[in-house]
């Protein structure tokens, strides 16, 4: 298991390099630059700034310099936020996105997983239809709709929950409820459908039939024998999905005014803040690689078939 | 592991887990956006400050914060008119070229004296091109400012000198009757030279900063919050009521309105104009609409055929039904624009108009067709061009309207629309890569010059239309050397009329500023510049 993990991490290095180069060239291919504004800059100042940030060099050389900086652990200065570096901005935003993403994924696994099990066990009965209808609604209504709707209902109409994501500059549980639910609903929907399908399959498997034949109580059959196997597709989905959730959601962070990196990413792309965009892409790629790896490792723990004695 | 017997229990277990996860969070106390007891105000401010260093700032939303932290020689009253700030009084020489300011005794927030040397240092810093200040050209009326910024002389040689600790002398290139307006702009704020010497550009971080204004920076969390707190060392601190100000960058105007509605913000510096009716009903007393120091206009690329023909430019300007756009697309009483400058400019007659401004639209449309035919267009030679516009806020809807108005001239006119991100649009305008393009200008201070310079030949890339009229340039130059404010306004008004007669731009509307303000917040007054300094705010009990 360890050797496989190490091998995977080695493969990750060229993957990361490809992602960096791809994002770098795409970013620089977009028209306009970080200093294009309604008010024009004196040309001498624009030249000076471009020189300061190395934007006057050929793109290939810029990439080389950027990667060189990365190797020294330097993500560079932000090209738009003049008083901050990319590392400063990521350090400010990443914890919020991580808390939000982890919260949403936990909720989604518990709620979606639970609902999926219910639907599978009660296949083709009222509960099943109810859960699946809910899942369809969850997939069809994007956070852009659900978020403001919940703000209106819970925040303004009934006044039971705050409409913003933080208490000024503090984390407080009540403030995270609406954003976490909003971010998790699509995940709940997908996970409950995945869970239902794989649970149904697991319940029909020979292992479960054997367990039942041995006279084990139904609960034990489900919790101990069917669930671990049924979890596998959910886990391979949840790995990358968690990376996505933790890298921040532009919509949720904007609607609930949260200081995460998802919002930073979209704003930075619009402002052509090359270094900041690259920084977030890097965080996201690392998360994807790590969580994919973790998902695979979890697979090995859960699936008896992949276990080597 | 022994889990209870039946299938029912399994379901129960799953359900409880789900429910626990859903309702696990409990409610905490709410943020009160206008907390009268704590004397705090939460403010939805349009954008994230890209910097808080007055020498690097360039947006109105940054000015909203920075202007509460620093005070220049003059400063704004509640109506945004220039009043004495760090300067208690000033004298002007007969020719208007030398201004001498007597400074008040005041300290930085760290106890060091804030004196004339800090101002001298600040002017040299912003005019030193090494520091890459985008806004420095605003200071070109100061002697040698342009020469220093373009590296022809040293920043030491600019016309700003500390005669002693409390006397500052400013020498000008030409008479600048609007100097008191200019000196309340953030480009002229002092910076604490002892702090800049110690920390370099990082002096602006909350842990390093010193301010001379009513509020000091406490926390700045990117794209989320800027917290400033009352500065007890401010010279007029006794009259500053609010203790804490929290600024949130709120690009999403809808979310902003909901936040004010939920009581979590006491002031929003913008609201969506098409929601004004709902907001007036749901939040009575909150919506504030006021004329704004800005103009929206479409530039014709006069370097290209057919827009090098004044008849074509007038035809298209005439056929545009501004009243419709002002009333139907913007909903807060915006004015249709028939001149380049919005009404309400200081010392300016504001009488320039398109010659045909009073003609009814039907007649204008017929005249437009006649002009286009005279310019050689018709069924056999159709007029085709592209209208590029910013794809943000109301601009796409304005674009569709103006397209329709132009198509209504004749069936042989065809207009293609091209919506672009604002940044790309401005890049194209500057590179003269457009046929007809929309853009906007927001004045930096209340003076006609700050608008009309856009059409001077020497302005270069920012003169999007490429308008070049030696007579116009001469009049603008002449106005620089006219010390009498009324005469100066008259000259610039002649220049504006000349420009409108040449129609290098098609004026659109004068947009209004929109704010949501808690009715119990006193000291907030509507004004043309949409600048509201918190030191004048109070609480109605």
User: Is residue B282 within 8 angstroms of chain A, CB to CB?
Assistant: no
Q: How far is B27 from chain A (nearest CA, A)?
A: 4
Residue B45 CB contacts under 8 Å (≥ 6 apart), including other chains? B61, B64, B65, B226, B247, B248, B249, B250, B269
Which one of B13, B69, B223 would you mutate to disrupt binding with A, by most A Cβ within 10 Å of its Cβ? B223
Asked whether the beta carbons of B167 and B15 are under 8 A apart, the reply is no
Residues of chain B positioned with their CB less than 8 A from the CB of A41: 134
Residue contact B26–A173, C-beta within 8 A? yes
Residue contact A49–B227, C-beta within 8 A? no
Closest chain B CA to residue A120: B11
Q: How far is B56 from chain A (nearest CA, A)?
A: 8
**Maximum alpha-carbon separation in chain B:** 101
Statement: residue A41 has pLDDT above 80: no
Q: How far apart are CA B290 and CA B353, in angstroms?
A: 22
Q: How far is A25 from chain B (nearest CA, A)?
A: 18
Q: How far is A152 from chain B (nearest CA, A)?
A: 8
Statement: residue A173 has pLDDT above 50: yes
Q: What's this model's pTM, rounded to 2 decimal places?
A: 0.82
User: How many other CB atoms are there within 10 angstroms of residue B486's CB atom?
Assistant: 11
CB neighbour class for B362 (10 Å; exposed up to 12, middle 13-18, buried from 19): exposed
| Cα–Cα nearest to A104, from B484, B24, B536, B417 | B24
Residue contact B223–A42, C-beta within 8 A? no
pLDDT single digits (tens) A64-97: 889 898 888 889 888 888 888 999 999 999 999 9
CA quadruple A230, A233, A239, A242: dihedral sign: negative
Q: At what angle do helices A173-203 and A143-150 cross, to 10 degrees?
A: 130
pLDDT single digits (tens) A220-279: 898 888 998 899 999 989 999 999 899 888 889 988 888 899 988 988 888 888 999 999
Structure tokens at B248: 């949130």
pLDDT of residue A172: 86
| Cα–Cα nearest to B201, from A78, A269, A266 | A78
Asked whether the beta carbons of A174 and B25 are under 8 A apart, the reply is yes
Nearest to A114 among B17, B205, B251 (CB): B17
Structure tokens at B401: 């309207």
Model ipTM value: 0.74
Task: Give the angle subtended at the CA of B76 by the CAs of B507 and B488, to the nearest 5°.
Answer: 50
Statement: residue A105 has pLDDT above 70: yes
| Cα–Cα nearest to B245, from B210, B221, B218, B223 | B218
pLDDT single digits (tens) A181-214: 999 999 999 999 999 999 999 999 998 999 899 9
Q: How far apart are CA B465 and CA B295, in angstroms?
A: 15
Q: What is the 3-state secondary structure (H, E, C) of chain A?
A: CHHHHHHHHHHHHHHHHHHHHHHHHHHHHCCCCCCCCCCCCCHHHHHHHHHHCCCCCCHHHHHHHHHHHHHCCCCCECCCCCCCEHHHHHHHHHHHHHHHHHHHHHHHHHHHHHHHHHHHHCCCCHHHHHHHHHHHHHHHCCHHHHHHHHHHHHHHHCCCCCCCCCECCECCHHHHHHHHHHHHHHHHHHHHHHHHHHHHHHHCCHHHHHHHHCCCCHHHHHHHHHHHHHHHHHHHHHHHHHHHHHCCCHHHHHHCCCCCHHHHHHHHHHHCCHHHHHHHHHHHHHHHHHHHHHHHHHHHHHCHHHCCC
| Chain A with chain B: Cβ pairs closer than 8 A | 212
Query: What does each of the 541 residues of chain B score in pLDDT, given as a tens digit?
Result: 333 334 444 444 444 444 444 443 344 467 899 999 999 999 999 888 889 999 988 888 999 999 999 999 999 999 999 999 999 999 999 888 999 999 999 999 999 999 999 999 999 999 998 887 878 889 999 999 999 998 899 999 999 999 999 999 999 999 888 999 999 999 999 999 999 999 998 999 999 999 999 999 999 998 889 999 999 999 999 999 999 999 998 877 777 888 898 898 999 998 888 889 999 999 999 999 999 999 999 999 999 999 999 999 999 999 999 999 999 999 899 999 999 999 999 999 999 999 999 999 999 999 999 999 999 999 999 999 999 999 878 899 999 999 999 999 999 999 999 998 777 888 889 888 999 999 999 998 899 999 999 999 988 888 999 999 999 999 999 998 888 889 999 999 999 999 999 999 999 999 999 999 999 999 999 999 999 999 999 999 8
Which one of B3, B13, B14 would you mutate to disrupt binding with A, by most A Cβ within 10 Å of its Cβ? B14
Residues of chain B positioned with their CB less than 8 A from the CB of A271: 423
Residues of chain B positioned with their CB less than 8 A from the CB of A181: 22
User: What is the DSSP track for B137-189?
Assistant: GGGTTBTTHHHHHTTSS-GGGSSEEEEETTEEEEEBSS--TTHHHHTTSGGG-
Q: E strand or H helix at B321, and its extent?
A: none
User: Is residue B136 within 8 angstroms of chain A, CB to CB?
Assistant: yes
Chain B, window 113-132: residues with a beta carbon less than 8 angstroms from a chain A beta carbon: 129-130, 132
Closest chain A CA to residue B33: A168
Residue contact B421–A114, C-beta within 8 A? no
| Cα–Cα nearest to B203, from B215, B193, B216 | B193
Residue contact B3–A223, C-beta within 8 A? yes
Q: How far apart are CA B536 and CA B331, in angstroms?
A: 30
Residues of chain B positioned with their CB less than 8 A from the CB of A177: 25
Residue B234 CB contacts under 8 Å (≥ 6 apart), including other chains? B109, B212, B213, B214, B215, B240, B535
CB neighbour class for B510 (10 Å; exposed up to 12, middle 13-18, buried from 19): buried
Residues of chain B positioned with their CB less than 8 A from the CB of A222: 7, 10
Residues of chain B positioned with their CB less than 8 A from the CB of A37: 58, 134, 423, 426
pLDDT of residue A272: 86
Residue with tokens 């409390």: B166
Classified as helix, coil or strand, B240 is coil
Residue contact A93–B440, C-beta within 8 A? no
pLDDT of residue B9: 47
Number of helices (H), then strands (E), in chain B: 16, 23
Asked whether the beta carbons of A118 and A274 are under 8 A apart, the reply is no
Nearest to B262 among A106, A121, A156 (CB): A156
Residues of chain B positioned with their CB less than 8 A from the CB of A83: 51-53, 56, 201-202, 204-205
Asked whether the beta carbons of B331 and B376 are under 8 A apart, the reply is no
**What are residue B473's DSSP bridge partners?**
none
């Amino acid at each position: 298991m360890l050797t496989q993990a190490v091998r995977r991490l080695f493969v990750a290095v060229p993957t990361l390099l490809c992602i960096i180069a791809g994002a770098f060239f795409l970013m620089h291919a977009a028209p306009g630059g970080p200093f294009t504004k309604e008010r024009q800059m004196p040309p001498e100042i624009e030249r000076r700034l471009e020189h300061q940030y190395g934007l006057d060099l050929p793109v290939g050389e810029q990439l080389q310099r950027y990667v060189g900086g990365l190797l020294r652990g330097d993500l560079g200065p932000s090209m738009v936020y003049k008083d901050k570096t990319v590392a400063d901005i990521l350090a400010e935003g990443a914890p919020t996105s991580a808390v939000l993403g982890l919260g949403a994924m936990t909720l989604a696994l518990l709620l979606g997983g639970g609902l999926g099990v219910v639907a599978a066990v009660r296949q083709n009965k009222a509960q099943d239809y109810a859960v699946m209808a809910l899942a369809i609604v969850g997939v069809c209504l994007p956070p852009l709709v659900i978020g403001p709707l919940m703000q209106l209902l819970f925040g303004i109409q009934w006044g039971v929950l705050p409409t913003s994501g933080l208490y000024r500059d503090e984390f407080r549980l009540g403030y995270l409820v609406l954003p976490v639910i909003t971010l998790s609903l699509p995940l709940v929907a997908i996970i409950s459908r995945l869970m239902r399908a794989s649970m149904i399959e697991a319940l029909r498997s020979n292992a479960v039939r054997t367990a039942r034949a041995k006279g084990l109580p139904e609960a034990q059959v489900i919790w101990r024998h069917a669930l671990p196997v049924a979890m596998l597709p959910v886990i391979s989905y949840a790995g990358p999905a968690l990376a996505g959730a933790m890298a921040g959601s532009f919509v949720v962070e904007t609607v609930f005014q949260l200081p995460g990196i998802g919002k930073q990413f979209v704003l930075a792309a619009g402002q052509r803040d090359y270094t900041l965009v690259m920084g977030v892409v890097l965080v996201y790629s690392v998360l994807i690689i790590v969580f994919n790896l973790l998902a695979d490792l979890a697979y090995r723990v859960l699936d008896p078939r992949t276990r080597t004695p | 592991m022994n889990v209870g017997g039946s299938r029912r229990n399994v379901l129960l277990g799953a359900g409880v887990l789900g429910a626990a996860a859903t309702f696990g969070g409990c409610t905490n106390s709410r943020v009160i956006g206008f907390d009268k007891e704590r004397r705090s105000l939460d403010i939805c401010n349009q954008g994230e400050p890209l910097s808080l260093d007055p020498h690097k700032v360039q947006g109105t939303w940054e000015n909203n914060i920075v202007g509460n932290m620093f005070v220049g020689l003059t400063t704004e009253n509640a109506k945004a008119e220039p009043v004495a700030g760090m300067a208690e009084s000033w004298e002007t020489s007969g020719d208007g070229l030398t201004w001498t300011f007597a400074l008040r005794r005041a300290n930085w927030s760290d106890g060091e004296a804030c004196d004339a040397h800090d101002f001298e240092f600040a002017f040299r810093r912003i005019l030193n091109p090494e520091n890459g200040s985008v806004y420095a050209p605003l200071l070109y009326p100061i002697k040698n400012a342009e020469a220093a910024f373009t590296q022809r002389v040293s920043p030491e040689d600019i016309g700003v000198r500390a005669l002693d600790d409390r006397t500052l002398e400013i020498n000008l290139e030409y008479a600048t009757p609007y100097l008191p307006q200019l000196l309340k702009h953030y480009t002229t704020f002092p910076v604490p030279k002892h702090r800049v010497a110690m920390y370099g550009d990082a002096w602006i971080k909350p842990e390093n900063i010193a301010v001379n204004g009513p509020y000091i920076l406490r926390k700045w969390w990117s794209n989320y919050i800027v917290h400033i707190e009352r500065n007890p060392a401010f010279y007029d601190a006794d009259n500053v009521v609010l203790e804490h100000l929290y600024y949130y960058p709120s690009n999403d105007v809808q979310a902003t309105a909901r936040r004010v509605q939920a009581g979590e913000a006491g002031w929003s510096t913008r609201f969506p104009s098409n929601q004004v009716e709902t907001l007036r009903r749901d939040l009575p007393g909150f919506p504030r609409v006021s004329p704004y120091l800005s103009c929206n206009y479409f530039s014709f690329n006069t370097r290209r055929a057919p827009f090098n023909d004044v008849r074509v430019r007038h035809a298209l300007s005439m056929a545009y039904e501004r009243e419709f756009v002002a009333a139907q697309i913007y909903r807060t009483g915006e004015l249709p624009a028939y001149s380049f400058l919005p009404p309400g400019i200081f010392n300016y007659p504001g009488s320039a108009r398109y010659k045909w401004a009073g003609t009814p639209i039907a007649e204008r449309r017929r005249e437009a067709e006649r002009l286009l035919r005279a310019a050689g267009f018709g069924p056999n030679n159709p007029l085709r061009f592209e209208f590029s516009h910013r794809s943000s806020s109301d601009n796409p809807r304005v674009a569709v309207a103006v397209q329709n108005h132009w198509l209504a001239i004749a069936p042989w006119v065809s207009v293609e629309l091209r919506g672009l991100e604002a940044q790309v649009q401005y890049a194209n305008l500057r590179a003269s890569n457009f046929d007809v393009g929309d853009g906007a200008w927001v004045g930096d201070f209340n003076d006609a010059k700050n608008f009309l310079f856009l059409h001077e030949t020497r302005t270069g890339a920012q003169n999007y239309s490429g308008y070049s009229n030696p007579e116009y340039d001469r009049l603008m130059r002449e106005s620089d050397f006219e010390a009498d404010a009324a005469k100066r306004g008259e000259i610039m008004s002649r220049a504006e009329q000349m420009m409108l007669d040449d129609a290098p731009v098609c004026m659109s509307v004068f947009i209004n500023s929109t704010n949501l303000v808690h009715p119990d917040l006193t000291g907030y007054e509507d004004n043309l510049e949409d600048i509201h300094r918190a030191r004048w705010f109070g609480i109605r009990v």
